[in-house]
Structure 1
């Protein structure tokens, strides 16, 4: 298999050297095939390759973000605040919903296909020079290296860099020295890699904390806070702790176009803001916005020029796909894929006005706690119909497993509401039935996996940001 990979690399580089431009879809296809050939490397090995390509991270002002839930939203809110303050901003996040270029943003927009192909070619040359032999970068490492080359070639004032999984052993933790570390809410997810307790997971996330680098983190659980604060003290990292009660006066209100928004106030020991607005119906996003506000405070304290109005305007214009996002009238998608995320989603879904029937489209991957999410869905009592679909990924829970899980939880739960269940082998088939049967006044939700959100968008022809 590795010989096949080497042959493919040589063929692509020969074409590049001849002046031929690679097409996006062949570059994308090559990247998609990487998991079949490779495994994850250590942080030390990743750092060694970064140094080989010239240590591009040392030339960047990096804000490093880890956590279980809310990482992408915090990255987006903070990026918009920095942009409003007049800075150019790069953002590297994962996963993508529809197209891999979504992972690489410059000033709020995914990079063009041509730039993706350009950086792809640059990285292939570096990999061949490095002579990786039988040790090719993993899928995420490859994309991370692309990000490092991208933001070196197309410089930005700040790079907001999201971890892929965990923190301590994540490829992104190979960077030299960020200007700010951020840890969002800690919850139970990826337990097979990070540990099966909050404390152990927090220890992995706290692995991004660097000596004498300010740290912003969310104080939601005593078990995680204790671990994070202890590590920060060991490294002399100044701590900015975001408390749940910093967010106040949450309410919904329409904007000038009639779209429902969230208004709230924020008050910490450092700052006080009234009349803040988010373009979402999700109240849980106020916590992520609060983390971004505290990040702005930490950056101000090290000399970054961010005005109060930059914070309020940045939050107001920020949009982040796949989080209680209204993609069509009466159709919301949410990337909730673990117990904490599902709890937040269900709270929001129950508050969305609905004249008639609420329908949920659900799909999940096998390495998540899908049984517990199913139990939460049933016990919420807010859905009249649940359409259950297999996802188009090898990680998906099968139709028989999904059916067995729903039937088992229905037997064990005390459900008074009559719920109609339908099972599908594809998201496309499920959507066709949902759209065909949907009546006036009905509201549709899709949740359970970011894969599901992406496949709904792709099926409906809706790209993020559109």
Structure 2
């Protein structure tokens, strides 16, 4: 290769993406594509020069769940950084919003473009030089997420981090991150009931997958779960010989602080982060805690940031425009989003000028868009009533915009946001977007058809918002349904400096 820039690395990484059909099969299997999922990942690890035991040097806190695993990871990261400011703390999460390097952070900051390119090509070259394979089914290079996971492991080991918060990508037992032999502590966030319907699997099956991150001799934590899920998690902890099994509940002290991540649902995530951090610091820093919420923990929770989740930002170009960003993509997470949004502290704040509201929405074609939009409208009505507002839920938004996740109006993606996950036929005919528009028209029959927009790109959607803006009014925009959509809006609307 003539150059080895960050842009080159991203383009090479994109060549490893799976197509839409493969990703759908992966989702349906809960991350288990085959019995070789973990053996193949171990083979890749060996080919780049590491043993599984080497990964123990990262000092891992392993976190999974169907809801809140990213937020819990962000809280845990912030607690450790505020408690041990002299440490290097690594954080690996997915997906990214604007740049792929966001997935690999050290001390709260994404690794630089130069670092990402360096670590990327070191892994790339090692795989090119060592082509010995144990399994005929193993491709010469791993798929996108597996490759980024290898880059993260290589980066954290090279940078000699003192702690690593490792968020599972999909499932748990067969996830690419689940090759660390002995994490310091493991945790499972809420098992969302809506995933049962979406994935067509029982709660026990989902819990079996999530509990697969529990390890021999390692504390196993979780939050309050439905009985079926809790029974399976407890059984998995015993089966895998975890050193202990603990169910975490929020303490009264948590109610007294303002969490850095908005929404009542974050209290449970914060409680798990506290318990994980406490176990970790007891094991790795020989610290003891009598206070249920030490000052450094409280500070970490208050200062935690997690872009694109219940986040409100003022537009840098127009102070009269506020963007409400939340990647909610399930019935339960969308309900939590609306509970946060439709409140006197957020979108219902009193104003002495007219207010226009817009919704920018997209969702995976496989999910039931009408169900998500129905939930959105129902929850808006509930929250308006609870807030004492006489607004009607059907009139909460003045405009609704259904667009694809394609970044630009010319049909191109920002390289970091390129995706092969959208079926080409769907994309070409705006199939999902037209279905969403039809669902909205059925749910709100008297909504002006001219205010329902079906658009081919994020740039087109942002243009509609810009046309709504006026010096004499405030514009409020909810962007939800997809983290990829949120990332695209941050990029196109120029929100990076205030959102990331």
Give 1:154's aligned residue: 159
Are 2:438 and 1:407 equivalent residues in the alignment? yes
Identify the range of structure 1 (360-369 vs 348-357) with the bigger mean alpha-carbon deviation: 348-357
Are 1:346 and 1:377, in contact at CA under 8 Å, matched by a contact in 2? yes
Going from structure 1 to structure 2, the CA distance change for 1:181 and 1:132 (only over 3 Å counts) comes to same
Using the TM superposition, name which of 154-163 and 40-49 deviates more. 40-49
Secondary structure at 1:343 match in 2: helix
Displacement, 1:235? 3.0
1:390 aligns with 2:404: yes
Please tell me whether the aligned partners of residues 378 and 410 of structure 1 are also in contact (alpha carbons under 8 angstroms): no
Among 464, 481, 485, the residue aligned to 1:452: 485
Q: 1:45 aligns with which of 20, 40, 43?
A: 40
Paired residue secondary structure (2:15): helix
> Which residue in 2 is equivalent to 1:54?
50
Change (3 A) 1:275 1:58: same
Is 1:118 the equivalent of 2:118? yes
Q: Look up the SS of the partner of 1:167 in the other structure.
A: coil
Query: Post-superposition shift, 1:370?
Result: 2.8
Q: String of CA shifts for 1:54-95, please: whole Å, max 9, x gaps.
A: 223032211111111211111111011111111320011100
Structure 2 counterparts to residues 252-263 of structure 1, below 5 A: none
User: Which residue is 1:297 aligned to?
Assistant: 278
Cross-structure match for 1:337:
329
Deviation at 1:461, TM superposition (A): 2.4
Q: Distance in 2 between matches of 1:408 and 1:123?
A: 46
Per-residue deviation, 1:190: 6.9
Residue 208 of structure 2 corresponds to residue 203 of structure 1:
yes
174-183 or 230-239, which deviates more: 230-239
Separation in structure 2 between the aligned mates of residue 129 and residue 395 of structure 1, nearest angstrom: 30
- Report the 3-state secondary structure (helix = DSSP H, G, I; strand = E; otherwise coil) of the residue aligned with 1:217: strand
TM-score by length of 2: 0.78
Distance 1:418 1:301, change over 3 A: farther
Residue equivalent to 1:230:
235
Which secondary structure state, in structure 2, belongs to the residue aligned with residue 161 of structure 1? strand
Does the C-alpha gap of structure 1 residues 444 and 179 become closer, same or farther in structure 2, counting only changes over 3 Å?
A: same
Is contact 1:282-1:323 (8 Å) kept? no
Mapped to 1, the partners of 2:275 and 2:401 lie a distance apart of 40
After superposition, the Cα gap between the structure-2 partners of 1:394 and 1:123, relative to the gap in structure 1 and judged at 3 Å, is: closer
C-alpha distance in structure 1 between counterparts of 2:199 and 2:363, whole Å: 20
RMSD: 2.7
TM-aligned CA distance change 1:69 to 1:326, over 3 Å: same
Unaligned runs of 5+ in 1: 1-11, 16-20, 247-265
Q: Which residue in the other structure is 1:366 paired with?
A: 365
Larger deviation, residues 414-423 vs 79-88: 414-423
For residue 32 of structure 1, report the CA deviation from its aligned partner.
0.6
Question: Which deviations, in whole Å up to 9, do the C-alpha atoms of 1:322-366 show, x marking residues without a partner?
Answer: 011123252111010112111111111211233434321101122
In structure 2, C-alpha distance between the alignment counterparts of 1:408 and 1:363, rounded to whole Å = 13
SS of the aligned residue for 2:258 comes to: strand
**C-alpha distance 138-322 of structure 1, shift in aligned 2 (>3 A):** same
Checking the alignment, whether the CA contact within 8 Å between 2:441 and 2:447 is kept in structure 1 is no
Q: Tell me whether 124-133 or 224-233 shows the greater mean CA deviation.
A: 124-133
SS at match of 1:443: strand
Secondary structure of residue in 1 paired with 2:17: helix
Q: Please state how far the C-alpha of 1:452 moved relative to its aligned partner.
A: 0.5
Q: C-alpha displacement at 1:185, in angstroms?
A: 1.3
Aligned-pair CA distance for 1:386: 1.7
Mark the CA change 1:370 to 1:212 in structure 2 (over 3 Å): closer, same or farther.
Answer: farther
Is the alpha carbon distance of 1:191 and 1:46 closer, same or farther for their aligned partners in structure 2, counting shifts above 3 Å?
Answer: farther
**Contiguous gaps of at least 5 residues in structure 2:** 24-32, 134-138, 315-320, 382-392, 407-418
Give distance in 2, aligned partners of 1:395 and 1:35.
8
The answer (yes or no) to whether the contact 2:369–2:435 under 8 Å persists in 1 is no
**8 A contact 1:378–1:415 mirrored in 2:** no
2:465 counterpart of 1:434: yes
